[in-house]
Amino acid sequence: MSGPGNGPGGGPGNGPGDGSGSGPDLRRGVRIGVDVGSVRVGVAASDPGGVLAVPVTTLARDKRHNADIEQLVQIVRDRQAVEVVVGLPRQMSGQEGRAVQLVRQYVEVLAERIAPVPVRFVDERLTTVAAHRRMAERGVRSRARRSLVDQEAAVQILQHDLDSRPRGGAPGVAGSTGASSTGAPSTEAASADAASADAASQDER
């Protein structure tokens, strides 16, 4: 996303920041993690110290009236969030496909509604696979996972971002430019992770 309002790590303004280095220093305050899907939106939140991400809710997409965006705006306001972190589903090659375009469009509307709270993109490749694996490890059955995977993915996005950022600065200042990696499984581990998730799902049927 170009132009004014590149957000944290991307220049002045409140729009979404975008990049590939370490995120800005982490000052005290609640962060909201968001996993945007075509059907549902997973939401997670951190504690004020930026240590632990926990699931909040899963919102049903409402593409006609944007009711899900309004619900997300209310969550940001109610929790007095200092930043929103959104997963960007790049392809394994690093290229941006249609899914990324849709997330950017969604976040453009969200950023306008929650300004001046900054929004920042992070790489979310394989977080859904990781979310399925974590739930399988906790014994969550495959049918139950369908309603929980989006918020679990949001937890993964936010937690890895929190873990990768030094603390002490304000969002968008100090530290390297752009968004951090989510710390999702490596490309080499993708096939093994996906196979494990599929096997766990088969076992539960």
**Does residue 159 lie within any of the structural domains?**
yes
What is residue 204's predicted lDDT score, i.e. its pLDDT? 38
Do the Cβ atoms of 34 and 87 come closer than 8 Å?
Answer: yes
Task: State the pLDDT at residue 175.
Answer: 31
pLDDT in tens, 47-75: 999 999 999 999 999 999 999 999 999 99
How many Å is the Cα radius of gyration of the chain? 16
Distance CA 88, CA 81 (A): 20
Between 97 and 190, where is the model more confident? 97
- Give the residue among 19, 20, 60, 26 at the shortest CA–CA distance from 46: 26
Q: Is residue 158 part of a domain?
A: yes
Look at residue 14 and tell me if it is in a domain. no
Residue range of the domain that includes 170 = 31-204
Q: Worst-scoring range by mean pLDDT, 50-59, 104-113, 121-130, 166-175?
A: 166-175
